[in-house]
């Protein structure tokens, strides 16, 4: 490890950039790190404040807003699940996120691949049709969708939320996959002389694995977006449903006016899975985003 990198550094140093390979710590760099750290802490203050106060009682929070927890226990966390249907909301959010992501991965890469292979004017038209959705805010389609789901009896079901998300995410998905598919050679698929169902199998066995970098970027951005969404479930889930985490917290703000500690607790619980998703897929995420961004 050390020897190879040293050799590389040596070779590089002899040829082009002798200054860059010596990775010395400089005062400037340490100052930069300190500045970044301070900025991160400032921006994280509200969340850290919520975290601290999720371990305090309402009386403690209001009599001494700047105080620290006197005891360290998870009473608020237990209470949140006992007093409200927060558990059901967590489950709803999980179902919406997982089912939507799975359906997106089943539908979108195949569609983008199809669009690129149809090609010509028809392919171009399909591509632009999907991309147009990027410029249609959710508010524009929201009123007719509520009416339509009411008519078919799906209003205030998780199905309605999932379907609305699917439509919204298709545009970004097609954009992402199409630009990726254009960048990789497709001779493999061309050579396989198959038709119909055979082509479907070829797609999933040969093409889909080649799209993995795009898929990982797509999955993580969508999973985070779905988990964090507030507006769509707010519109499509009424009080007959426990709602999603964010919708449930929003209701609590109105109902539990003297239980700030539970709001803070809910907020912290909503954040934990986002951090977990990010931690799990970070590697793919940064790479995928960077590739897409520089290309675009």
Partner 1 sequence: MSASLSAPARTRRRSRQIRIRWTMFGFVVPALIVYLAMVIVPSLQSIQLSFTNWDGIADDYDYVGFANYTDMLTSGRFWNAVKNTLLLGIGSAIIINAISLGMALLLDRLVHLQGLFRTAVYLPALVSAFIVATIWKYLLNYNFGFVNTFLRDVGVPDAARDWLGDSDIVVWVILFIVCFTLGGNTTLIYLANLQSVPQELLEAARIDGAGKIQVFLNVTWPMIAGGVTINVTLALIAGWTIFDQVMVLTSGGPGFVSETMAFFIYKVGFGEYRAGFGSAAAVVLFLVVLISSAATNGYMRKREIQA
Q: Which stretch binds partner 1 (CB under 8 A): 1-9, 70-78, 81-89, 270-278?
A: 270-278
Q: Are 156 and 240 in contact (CB under 8 A)?
A: yes
Conformational region of residue 21, where left means phi above 0, alpha means psi within -120 to 50, and beta covers everything else: alpha
Q: How far is the CB of 177 from partner 1 (least distance, A)?
A: 10
Beta carbon nearer to partner 1, 142 or 210: 142
Q: Are 267 and 249 in contact (CB under 8 A)?
A: yes
Q: Which stretch binds partner 1 (CB under 8 A): 3-11, 41-49, 94-102, 179-187?
A: 41-49
Q: Are 46 and 214 in contact (CB under 8 A)?
A: no
Annotate each residue in 194-233 with x if it binds partner 1 (CB under 8 A) or - if it does not, as one string: -xx--xx--x--------------------x--xxxxx--
Q: Which of 174, 170, 165, 197 is CA-nearest to residue 124?
A: 174
Asked if 167 interacts with partner 1 (CB under 8 A), we say yes
Asked if 119 interacts with partner 1 (CB under 8 A), we say yes
- Residues that bind partner 1 (rule: CB under 8 A) add up to a total of 95
Query: Interface residues for partner 1 in 75-104 (CB under 8 A)?
Result: none
Asked if 191 interacts with partner 1 (CB under 8 A), we say no
Record the tokens describing residue 233, joined without a space. 């479930």
Q: Which stretch binds partner 1 (CB under 8 A): 5-13, 71-79, 82-90, 159-167?
A: 159-167
Asked if 5 interacts with partner 1 (CB under 8 A), we say no
Q: How far is the CB of 143 from partner 1 (least distance, A)?
A: 5
Q: What are the Cα distances from residue 31, in Å, to 26, 41, 125, 285?
A: 9, 15, 52, 28
Beta carbon nearer to partner 1, 216 or 228: 228
Q: What are the Cα distances from residue 109, in Å, to 7, 174, 214?
A: 42, 7, 9
Asked if 258 interacts with partner 1 (CB under 8 A), we say no
Q: How far is the CB of 164 from partner 1 (least distance, A)?
A: 6
Q: How far is the CB of 96 from partner 1 (least distance, A)?
A: 14
With CB under 8 A as the contact rule, the residue among 71, 139, 239, 240 that binds partner 1 is 139
90 Cβ neighbours under 8 A, 6+ residues apart: 245, 269
Q: Are 125 and 184 in contact (CB under 8 A)?
A: no
């Amino acid at each position: 490890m050390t020897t190879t990198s040293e050799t590389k550094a040596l070779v590089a140093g002899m040829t082009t950039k002798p200054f860059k390979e010596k990775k010395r710590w400089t005062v400037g760099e340490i100052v930069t790190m300190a500045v970044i750290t301070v900025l991160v802490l400032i921006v994280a203050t509200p969340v850290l404040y919520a975290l601290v106060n999720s371990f305090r009682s309402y009386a403690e929070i209001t009599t001494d807003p700047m105080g620290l927890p006197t005891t360290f226990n998870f009473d608020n966390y237990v209470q949140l699940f006992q007093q409200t249907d927060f558990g059901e909301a967590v489950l709803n959010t999980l179902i919406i996120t997982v089912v939507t992501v799975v359906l997106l991965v089943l539908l979108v890469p195949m569609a983008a691949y199809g669009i690129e292979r149809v090609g010509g004017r028809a392919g171009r038209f399909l591509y632009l049709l999907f991309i147009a959705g990027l410029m249609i805010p959710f508010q524009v389609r929201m009123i007719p969708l509520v009416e339509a789901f009411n008519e078919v009896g799906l209003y205030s079901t998780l199905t309605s939320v999932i379907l609305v998300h699917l439509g919204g995410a298709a545009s970004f998905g097609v954009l992402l996959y199409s630009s990726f598919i254009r960048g990789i050679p497709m001779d493999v698929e061309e050579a396989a002389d198959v038709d119909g169902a055979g082509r479907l199998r070829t797609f999933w066995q040969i093409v889909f694995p080649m799209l993995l970098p795009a898929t990982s970027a797509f999955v993580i951005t969508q999973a985070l977006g779905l988990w964090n969404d507030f507006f769509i479930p707010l519109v499509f889930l009424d009080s007959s449903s426990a709602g999603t985490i964010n919708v449930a917290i929003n209701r609590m703000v109105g109902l539990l006016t003297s239980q700030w500690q539970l709001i803070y607790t809910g907020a912290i619980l909503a954040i934990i899975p986002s951090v977990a998703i990010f931690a799990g897929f970070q590697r793919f995420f940064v790479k995928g985003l960077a590739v897409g961004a520089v290309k675009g």
